[in-house]
Amino acid sequence: MSNVNKDYWNAQLYDENHSFVSNYGSNILELLKVKEGEMILDLGCGTGDIANKLYEKGAKVFAVDLSKNMIAAAKSKYPNITFGVMNATDLEYENMFEAVFSNATLHWVKPPIKALQCIYKSLKDGGRFVAEFGGKGNVSIITNEIINQIRLSGNEFNEQNNPWYYPSVAEYTTLMEEVGFRVTFAQHIDRPTPLNGEGGLKNWINMFGQQLLDGIDDRLKEQIIVNVENALKPNLFKEGYWEADYKRIRVIGVK
């Protein structure tokens, strides 16, 4: 069984090799339409880059993440912003924010309904929830091959090691409506995402997919990752870089 309290996040690797996460997140800020002086919660803030963009636009920013490693890095990078370690399913805010913003986080959060209840409660009446995260089919080519190679190595794949929740638009917007949101925007898009250099896929698995390999000996893990690279190279390695098969959901809900 996976260790739910383990912090898998390597803040340095995240900043060095996975800046695309916050770069793509900057595009979603256009949906947020920040106004100066607004109180905004950045939910799943990582190392704080988007929280800082919100701060630079004049928002009063609170930013939280479940990873202590990420929050430590964020505090050191952006000392003017209030950061805290918090789970999306345990938010204690009530009628506090004009907006809750979340990028590349909610596919890690289970049960999703509990997070949505907390987000809804955190918002003032008329407040908005704007999010992007992994949708149905996200990185399925990569994930399926990792599971395939685990099985070919003679190991069982433990479904409890799958850390992700990738809903369809219909599934997620139904949950949003159940907790009280009026859904004003919902989109499910293909977003093929370049990964840095020849080691891009290995870095991606080490950053985001380690939990899939829980319980497997370190040396065998390395071999499984090499086997995944070899199997996927013909399809996902293009002109010197890897391309991950991202599919994203974007939503806006109003309280």
pLDDT of residue 5: 43
End-to-end CA distance of the chain: 38
Residue carrying the six token digits 């106004």: 35
Q: How far is CA 21 from CA 15, 25, 36, in A?
A: 9, 6, 24
pLDDT of residue 23: 53
Q: How far is CA 214 from CA 1, 46, 220, 221, in A?
A: 8, 22, 11, 9
- Report, at the CATH architecture level, how domain 11-254 is classified: 3-Layer(aba) Sandwich (3.40)
Q: How far apart are CA 87 and CA 85, in angstroms?
A: 7
Q: State the pTM of this model.
A: 0.88
Give which of 219, 140, 228, 129 is closest to 179, Cα–Cα: 129
Instruction: Specify whether the CB–CB gap between 59 and 40 falls below 8 A.
Output: yes
Kindly give the confidence (pLDDT) of every residue in the chain, 255 residues in length, as a single tens digit, with 9 standing for 90 and above. 333 445 444 445 544 444 444 455 557 888 999 999 999 999 999 999 999 999 999 999 999 999 998 899 999 999 999 999 999 999 999 999 999 999 999 999 999 999 999 999 999 999 999 999 999 999 999 999 999 999 999 999 999 999 999 999 999 999 999 999 999 999 999 999 998 888 999 999 998 899 999 999 999 999 999 999 999 999 999 888 999 999 999 999 999
Long-range contacts of 149-153 (CB under 8 A, 24+ apart): 149/224, 149/227, 149/228, 149/231, 150/212, 150/213, 150/216, 150/224, 152/227, 153/216, 153/220, 153/223, 153/224, 153/227
Residue-range domain boundaries for the chain: 11-254
pLDDT of residue 25: 53
